[in-house]
């Protein structure tokens, strides 16, 4: 069934497990993720970036948002696991309103690169509009290093826990993404992963809200290796190890944003298939090879984050 993201995350927050939120851009990734969640009996959060919406709408924002709602609802309505659709990193009013209008379960207002007061003001405004439409809201505090939807921060600015407390109380936001040292993409750390667990723990204690970890892909060496074996160049790729993610879940993370891991798995499967089947040109066959590995990654994450069996 199609549900409000808040319902999925409040249960996860009470019981201290996390639900991965998987980014999609097209039908193939959605089918693979759905199959994985059904097999694992897990609640599911599908999310799309502004870029994904523009892509799916072939340039038309409202059409893109409506496309994803139609796709996700069509399948969600006929299965018995809870499924939510979330707008990831909403930075422009236009996209946020399009998502709400189209029927998304939740939206993220990401004004994290703006001063605290401005972030709070914008978040408050979106909360008012979204809640009136029965849509829940995520916001972000602090900044992730690297490129975050066209905005790049040289170094990460970690969340201030005292500010987080004020922020959730003032804005009424439903879930919060605190920056604790992760970054987006396939190249997160030069050396070992460095996450601020103490800070995370304090944010949970002070906010008592479902918390979101962005930039949470693990960039599993086995998939990177497979992709490279078949021609990819991903030298230096590094993610957040699964053990570190489990620790984050123990400390109160409930939504684990995952995009890069699916992209790498898909490209590994696709490259291998094309190399091994040079006569093949049926898209259902070569895209199917990518989907198979995406489903594998999805099932593994649902399992170790504790979402498996929770539907």
Closest separation between CB of residue 210 and ligand G3H, Å?
A: 18
Count Cα atoms within 13 angstroms, Cβ side, for 289.
18
* DSSP 8-state class, residue 115: -
Ligand-binding annotation for 309, yes or no, is: no
SS3 assignment, position 47: strand
Q: Which of 66, 214, 271, 301 binds Zn ion (CB under 5 A)?
A: 214
Is 282 one of the catalytic residues?
Answer: no
**23 lines the binding site for ligand G3H (CB under 6 A):** yes
**263 lines the binding site for Zn ion (CB under 5 A):** no
Instruction: Give DSSP secondary structure letters for 207-249.
Output: H-S-EEESS-----HHHHHHHHHTT---TT-B---HHHHHHHH
d(CA 167, CA 207): 9
Q: Which of 5, 207, 257, 300 binds ligand 13P (CB under 6 A)?
A: 257
Residue among 15, 35, 29 at smallest CA distance from 79: 35
SS3 assignment, position 22: strand
Residue among 160, 154, 121 at smallest CA distance from 141: 160
Q: Which two tokens stand for residue 304?
A: 């170790």
Out of 35, 80, 88, 261, pick the active-site residue.
88
Q: Judged by CB under 5 A, how many residues of this single chain contact Na ion?
A: 2
**Looking at beta carbons, which residue is closest to Zn ion?**
214
Ligand-binding annotation for 231, yes or no, is: no
Could you give the string, one character per residue 232-271, with x where binding to ligand G3H holds by CB under 6 A and - elsewhere? ---------------------------x------------
d(CA 89, CA 46): 13
Q: Which is nearer to Zn ion, 258 or 291 (CB)?
A: 258
Binding site members for dihydroxyacetone phosphate = 185, 215-217, 257-260
Binding site members = 89, 110, 140, 184-185, 214-217, 257-260
The site for ligand G3H (CB under 6 A) is made up of 23, 49, 51-52, 88-89, 149, 184, 259
Just list the catalytic residues. Answer: 88
The site for ligand 13P (CB under 6 A) is made up of 23, 88-89, 184-185, 214-217, 257-261
């Amino acid at each position: 069934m199609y549900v409000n993201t808040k319902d999925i995350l409040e249960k996860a927050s009470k019981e201290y497990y996390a639900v991965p939120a998987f980014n999609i851009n097209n039908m193939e990734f959605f089918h693979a993720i759905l199959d994985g969640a059904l097999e694992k009996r897990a609640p599911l959060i599908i999310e799309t970036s502004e870029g994904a919406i523009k892509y799916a709408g072939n340039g038309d924002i409202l059409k893109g948002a409506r496309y994803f709602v139609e796709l996700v609802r069509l399948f969600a309505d006929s299965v018995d696991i809870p499924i939510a659709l979330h707008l990831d990193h909403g930075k422009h009013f236009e996209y946020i309103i399009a998502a709400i209008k189209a029927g998304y379960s939740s939206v993220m207002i990401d004004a994290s690169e703006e001063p605290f007061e401005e972030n709070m003001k914008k978040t408050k405004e979106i909360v008012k509009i979204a809640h009136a439409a029965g849509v829940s809201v995520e916001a972000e505090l602090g900044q992730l290093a690297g490129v975050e939807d066209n905005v790049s921060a040289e170094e990460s600015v970690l969340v201030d826990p005292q500010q987080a407390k004020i922020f959730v109380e003032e804005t009424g936001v439903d879930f919060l993404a605190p920056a604790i040292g992760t970054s987006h993409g396939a190249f997160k750390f030069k050396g070992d992963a460095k996450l601020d667990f103490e800070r995370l723990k304090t944010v949970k204690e002070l906010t008592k809200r479902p918390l979101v970890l962005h930039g949470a892909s693990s960039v599993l060496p086995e998939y990177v290796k497979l992709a490279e074996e078949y021609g990819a160049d991903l030298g230096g790729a590094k993610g957040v190890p699964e053990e570190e993610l489990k620790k984050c879940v123990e400390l109160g993370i409930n939504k684990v944003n995952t995009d890069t891991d699916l992209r790498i798995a898909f490209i590994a499967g696709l490259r291998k298939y094309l190399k091994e089947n040079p006569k093949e040109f049926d898209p259902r066959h070569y895209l199917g090879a990518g989907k198979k590995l995406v489903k594998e990654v999805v099932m593994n994450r649902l399992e170790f984050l504790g979402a498996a069996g929770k539907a």
